[in-house]
Amino acid sequence: MKIPFSYTLRNFKQRKLTTAITITGITLVVFVFIAVLMMAYGVQKTLQATGSADNVLVSRKAATGEISSIIDGETVDVIKSLPYIAKNAEGKQLISPEPVVIINLNTISGGLSNISVRGVSDKAFELRPRLKIIEGRQINFGTRELIVGESIPKKFKDAALGKKLKIAGDFWTVVGIFSAGGSGFDSEVWGDALQLLNAFNRSTSVSTLTFKMTTGEDFPKIKAEFEKDRRLLQFVPKIEQKYFEEQSEMMATFIRVLGTAVTVIFSLGAVIGAMITMYASVANRTVEIGTLRALGFRRRSILAAFLTESLAIAIIGWAIGMLLSLLLVSYKISTLNFGSFAELEFSFSLSGSIVISSLIFAVIMGFVGGFLPSVRAARLNIVTALRAV
């Protein structure tokens, strides 16, 4: 014979304060857990959006990021001679050899931070059609002009429209602000590749090279071209979207590991709180338990009723924590990206897997916190329980 669920719900009213405190503890732990996962997913989503599935990015093998990759001018010419590179309406290849450097800038709040400066060709904008100028104008190639991602002026005081940035001992003018649809490019500064190479005395060596494939099915053929040409064995082509997604793995993993470790420590307090609440419930309802046993309810029914009560508390805490976490979706933060060693602005992002993971986490807390008290309730002797009147 099963105990009605209404009996479990009725007991919430009898211990309003302790139940509320326990729910609050679980809510806070779940909120922190979800926030950590949303932060890690936000980094991944931002960098994944940086690339395109139609573009191929070439870098040096074993390079951990664009700033540590070098492609010499001769290799650039070899890559340009390969087939499967798309052309625009004018018959010109959609390819952009790009040097990437890191510079220090003063932040609005004080102190220094790193930003990425990307040298681009005029084809870079055809390769990334999502990029739009929202203020000012496009750079004039052959001049030391810059356009900055929309997140840059928000944090760096010298990066506003019309300001001048000092790069490699010379001043470059900010002539435009662009939006890249919330991708990692929004945290970069762009200028003429040839001017940037000249400023840093890099001759014709760039960091990476990006080109558009003629069709999405050409990548295996492109990869085969790199494998059979000895001049290209030191370089690796990757789908641009995949490349930037991999760049997020180190940072996202660090956030998840550190955040989960902190959350697990906090969860111990929530579990202890749930356990105390359920032990108090057993102590206050000893006679009820004895009566239920005398009426024919089995031990497993008693255990299931108390365990259900603990799980209900955990699920309520999870639901409130989930609702609170939705407030973070529109919130953006900026931090140092371990892959590029430069500032990266990203938003907290929620996914279905985060919802499921947080629910499982809350249920585990409820189960662990309620299991021992439920076992104690189920093992109470009928006569001993009835004598407690």
- Percent of the chain at pLDDT exceeding 90: 31
Q: Which one-letter DSSP state was computed for residue 85?
A: B
Residues 253, 193, single domain; the answer is no
Q: What is the pLDDT of residue 279?
A: 65
Residues 37, 94, single domain; the answer is no
Residues 25, 131, single domain; the answer is no
Residues 340, 366, single domain; the answer is yes
Let me know if residue 238 belongs to a domain. Answer: no
Residues 213, 175, single domain; the answer is yes
Question: Between the CA of residue 268 and those of 29, 47, 255, 321, 376, what are the distances in Å?
Answer: 9, 34, 20, 17, 20
Let me know if residue 57 belongs to a domain. Answer: no
Query: What is the SS3 assignment for 201?
Result: coil
- H helix or E strand, kind and range, residue 235: strand 235-239
The residues, any chain, with a CB within 8 Å of residue 268's CB and separated by 6 or more, are none
- Mean pLDDT along residues 77-94: 91
Q: Between residues 236 and 276, which one has the greater pLDDT?
A: 236
Of the residues 180, 208, 233, the one at which a domain ends: 233
What end-to-end distance do the CA atoms of the chain give, in Å? 25
Q: Is the pLDDT assigned to residue 85 strictly greater than 70?
A: yes
Please report where in the chains the tokens 């309802």 appear, as a residue.
285
Q: Which one-letter DSSP state was computed for residue 187?
A: G
pLDDT, the chain, mean = 82
Let me know if residue 175 belongs to a domain. Answer: yes
pTM: 0.78
Residues 147, 262, single domain; the answer is no
Least confident stretch, 2-6, 37-41, 205-209: 2-6
Residue-wise pLDDT tens digits, 51-60: 788 999 999 9
- Mean pLDDT along residues 226-240: 92
Let me know if residue 368 belongs to a domain. Answer: yes
Residues 170, 80, single domain; the answer is yes
Residues 150, 277, single domain; the answer is no
Residues 127, 204, single domain; the answer is yes
Highest mean pLDDT: which of 108-112, 155-159, 277-281, 294-298?
155-159
Let me know if residue 370 belongs to a domain. Answer: yes
Of the residues 233, 257, 274, the one at which a domain ends: 233
Q: How confident is the model at residue 168 (pLDDT cuts 50, 70, 90)?
A: confident
Q: What is the pLDDT of residue 14?
A: 63
Residues 224, 290, single domain; the answer is no
Query: What is the C-alpha to C-alpha distance for residues 62 and 69, in angstroms, rounded to an integer?
Result: 8
Let me know if residue 303 belongs to a domain. Answer: yes
Least confident stretch, 35-44, 311-320, 340-349: 340-349
Query: What is the C-alpha to C-alpha distance for residues 378 and 224, in angstroms, rounded to an integer?
Result: 67
Residues 291, 332, single domain; the answer is yes
Q: What is the pLDDT of residue 198?
A: 92
Domain that holds residue 334: 5-48+249-386
Q: What is the pLDDT of residue 282?
A: 62
Check: CB of residue 70 under 8 Å from CB of residue 122: no
Closest Cα partner for 321 from 365, 258, 371, 276?
365
Residue-wise pLDDT tens digits, 91-138: 899 999 999 998 888 888 777 788 889 999 988 889 988 889 999 999
Residues 80, 223, single domain; the answer is yes
Q: Between residues 285 and 322, which one has the greater pLDDT?
A: 322
Let me know if residue 240 belongs to a domain. Answer: no
- Mean pLDDT along residues 260-280: 74
Closest Cα partner for 150 from 332, 327, 330, 326?
332
Q: What is the pLDDT of residue 380?
A: 60
Q: How confident is the model at residue 219 (pLDDT cuts 50, 70, 90)?
A: very high
Check: CB of residue 305 under 8 Å from CB of residue 282: no
Let me know if residue 38 belongs to a domain. Answer: yes
Tally of domains in the chain: 2
Query: What is the C-alpha to C-alpha distance for residues 258 and 335, in angstroms, rounded to an integer?
Result: 15
Residue-wise pLDDT tens digits, 4-28: 555 555 666 666 777 787 888 888 8
Q: Between residues 9 and 368, which one has the greater pLDDT?
A: 368
Q: Is the pLDDT assigned to residue 274 strictly greater than 90?
A: no
Q: Which one-letter DSSP state was computed for residue 132?
A: E
Query: What is the C-alpha to C-alpha distance for residues 189 and 146, in angstroms, rounded to an integer?
Result: 7
